Structure 1
Amino acid sequence: MESVKTALRVLEAVVESQLIGVSELARRLQEPKTTIQRCLTTLHDAGYVRPVDGTRRRWAVTNRLLLLSKSADPEPRLREIALPVMRWLRDETRETIHLMVPEGGEVVLIDRLDSPQPVRTVRQLGAHAPLHVASNGKAALAAMEEAEREAYIRNPLVSWTKRTITDADRLRQEVAKVRELGYAVSFGELDPEVHAVAAAILNSEGKPIATMSISCPASRLPVELIPKYGALVSKAAAEISRSLKSANAEVSQAAA
């Protein structure tokens, strides 16, 4: 069982870094190089990672992992319904659009559409961040039931940058503001050079099953542009929420 856990940790680290070597993996995971190499070989044989440039010095994930992730939507038809709306939002803003899902106190990136501009934000699929750090996470927090939200806030809030909110009362104030405005903002809290604005996608019970964000270099999202982008991402998230509810209602009627 421990070997399986280690292999999964290795896979997660490769997903986060994309190109990474055995030595760096060993340092990051605090495991012997021989253990890391054995895990990589197993994952390679299973088709989930591949050596880069024909060597075994650096490793990357394969398309098999991407295809597997695309078949595991947390909500039926989420990606199918979200994709055209993401395209619309990307075309309106010319910035990168992220689709993330809340999972175990974090948000996980499951899909993205890249900005057409040469300078843009880039995060690998599978990348994750604590709820209080990312705009997507704060959007999810604001849409949660109070008891669930408080259970998270009472835990230690880890800092990712000097702008990350780590004070519980300040985070509560931030969440209240998100609930009032309908969207969440991150000013360099996850990455010091990145600004983002996000809104929650809700299921028929009003619970957050995903979030969507506009993410871009800090210089392209000044404070005065936030209300415009907030309105756009809120509109996009609401449209996906409505479409998901309609799709699920049709499925329920057909099953009856």
Structure 2
Amino acid sequence: MLRALEAVASAQPMGVSELSRRLDISKPAAQRALLALAETGWIRRSEHQPGRWVLTVKVLEVANQLGGELGLRDLARPAMLELVRATGEAAHLSVLDGLDVVTIDEVESTEVVRIHWSIGTRGRAYATANGKALLANLPASQLSQHIPDPLEAFTDTTITEIEQLHRELAEIRRRGYSVQRGELRPDVASIAACIFPVPDHPLASLSIFMPIQRYPADGGEKLGRLVAEAAAKISVGLAGI
């Protein structure tokens, strides 16, 4: 079963026939391996290709338990604390899981008025800064797995046109950070940057998260640079593991 998990990780989304060829096993054996991995929470069916399978965030959760120096959360925590000290806003660490982005760690804001966004909270990736930072840095071949069709409007400012979303993702790649103002919830704004220890393989994203009335009038360029610098520090640290 471990060989099957490694195969899915190397070429997701993975189907029964491809797994059978890669491992040189029968299709029934490949199907049993995939179902066993799904039952234990390691993989799930692809949103866009139901006959194929992709990893879940359980892989990352286990990786974070391997030791302080190996855990993403442990490694990211100093940069998150520094970011909160510099901005006063909450810092969130998130990962992609299918169509959603999932918060896996948080350092709370030092401000009196703050937004509570607990660990484990999910949101559609295309409507969040964390999610858009990750989508913008995915290989083109994987992008469709994480974008629903159609795009649902959660607020009046949610992007609902796929062409507009692609334009924004291109701008995020150019700029180095993403922004959302009231796209998932009308009272929340955030700025995020991608963490990727290996080019074209985004692992997570780092954001600052604030009530929308505290979003800076200048468009958040200074905050965006701070978030991007913090994410880059985490990426360098991960690359050195």
TM-score under structure 1 length normalisation: 0.66
Distance 2:83 2:132 in 1: 20
1:100–1:156 Cα change, 3 Å: same
Kindly state the Cα deviation for residue 131 of structure 1 after the two structures are TM-superposed: 1.2
Which residue does 1:87 correspond to in 2? 81
Kindly state the Cα deviation for residue 206 of structure 1 after the two structures are TM-superposed: 3.3
Q: Does 1:73 align with 2:64?
A: yes
Asked if the contact 1:138–1:184 (Cα under 8 Å) also holds between the matched residues in 2, the reply is yes
Which residue does 1:179 correspond to in 2? 173
Kindly report the root-mean-square deviation, in angstroms, between the aligned alpha carbons of the 2 structures. 1.9
Alignment-mate amino acid for residue 218 of structure 1: I
Greater share of helix: 1
Distance 2:147 2:120 in 1: 24
Which residue does 2:106 correspond to in 1? 112
Q: Which has the larger radius of gyration?
A: 1
1:110–1:154 Cα change, 3 Å: closer
Asked if the contact 2:100–2:146 (Cα under 8 Å) also holds between the matched residues in 1, the reply is no
1:74–1:189 Cα change, 3 Å: farther
Alignment-mate amino acid for residue 225 of structure 2: A
Asked if the contact 2:91–2:108 (Cα under 8 Å) also holds between the matched residues in 1, the reply is yes
How high is the sequence identity, in percent, across the aligned residues?
Answer: 37
Number of residue-to-residue matches in the alignment: 179
Distance 2:65 2:216 in 1: 33
Which residue does 2:126 correspond to in 1? 132
Kindly state the Cα deviation for residue 195 of structure 1 after the two structures are TM-superposed: 1.0
TM-score under structure 2 length normalisation: 0.70
Kindly state the Cα deviation for residue 197 of structure 1 after the two structures are TM-superposed: 0.3
Alignment-mate amino acid for residue 202 of structure 1: F
Alignment-mate amino acid for residue 73 of structure 1: N
Distance 1:73 1:166 in 2: 35
Distance 1:223 1:203 in 2: 32
Kindly state the Cα deviation for residue 203 of structure 1 after the two structures are TM-superposed: 2.7
Q: Where does the alignment leave 5 or more consecutive residues of structure 2 unmatched?
A: 1-59
Distance 2:144 2:79 in 1: 32
Asked if the contact 2:139–2:200 (Cα under 8 Å) also holds between the matched residues in 1, the reply is no
Q: Where does the alignment leave 5 or more consecutive residues of structure 1 unmatched?
A: 1-68, 248-256
Q: Does 1:170 align with 2:164?
A: yes
